[in-house]
Amino acid sequence: MIKMNKNKIIKIIVIFLVAISYIAAVLFISGCSVYTIIKESYMSEEKGLELPQIDIDEAEIKGIGKVDIEIKKSYDPEEEINLMDDSVRDPFKPFYIKDEEEDEKNILKLEKIYTRDGIEYAELSLNDYSYLLKEGDTFYDIYLVQAINDTSVVLLKGDDIVTVFIDTVIYD
């Protein structure tokens, strides 16, 4: 027999005890016991899922049938497909951006221009809502105030320049 020194034997025993302790701790934490594992594995009968008992009414099933009404077709096979139709959506255009053509026109009106503390302000009404603006302000997420003059305000809408005069209504 091969002689092992005491340190190696102690290490092997310690590793074995740690492994057993670890397994026991896992089983204890998970709520399992040796009795439960043996009982579930060897002594219990297999219980499968049972389907609920449903009474079938044969008369009702026979009453269900094809309805003899004229079904309206959602297409006409003889009709040509028009690619320029308005209802056909452009696949390269994002669906969440509305067409500017579909939107109603904005009603812009310059109410007044005044100076307070050396800063020029313009009071604009857009679709019956008033805005108090100075140069560089944006409003309605599409208009940028470029310049405020004596009788007009110059707005930038994308690449378009819109000039609004006092008491003049602009449909944009």
Q: Residue 121 is part of a domain; what is its CATH number?
A: 2.30.30.830
Work out how many domains the chain is built from and give that number: 2
| Length of the chain in terms of residues written | 172
Confidence of residue 141 (pLDDT cuts 50, 70, 90): confident
Which candidate, 148, 172, 169, places its Cα nearest to that of 158?
A: 172
Q: Does 133 map to a domain? A: yes
Q: Does 100 map to a domain? A: no
Which candidate, 119, 124, 120, 118, places its Cα nearest to that of 138?
A: 124
Q: Does 69 map to a domain? A: no
Residues 50, 95: Cα–Cα separation, whole Å: 49
Confidence of residue 95 (pLDDT cuts 50, 70, 90): low
What are the Cα distances from residue 21, in Å, to 9, 27, 35, 109? Answer: 18, 10, 17, 83
Q: Does 38 map to a domain? A: yes
Residues 132, 122: Cα–Cα separation, whole Å: 6
Q: Does 97 map to a domain? A: no
Q: Does 86 map to a domain? A: no
Instruction: Output the furthest CA–CA distance in the chain (Å, rounded).
Output: 113
How confident is the model over 3-54, as pLDDT tens digits?
668 888 899 999 999 999 988 888 777 766 667 777 777 766 666 667 778 8
Q: Does 156 map to a domain? A: yes
Which candidate, 93, 143, 92, 91, places its Cα nearest to that of 122?
A: 143
Confidence of residue 163 (pLDDT cuts 50, 70, 90): very high
Report which residue type is found at 125: S
Provide the residue range defining the domain that includes 28.
6-42
Q: Does 60 map to a domain? A: no
Q: Does residue 34 contact residue 42 with C-beta atoms inside 8 Å?
A: no
pLDDT for 1 equals 46
Tell whether the model's pLDDT for residue 84 goes beyond 90: no
Any residues with CB less than 8 A from the CB of 138 and at least 6 apart, and which?
144, 145
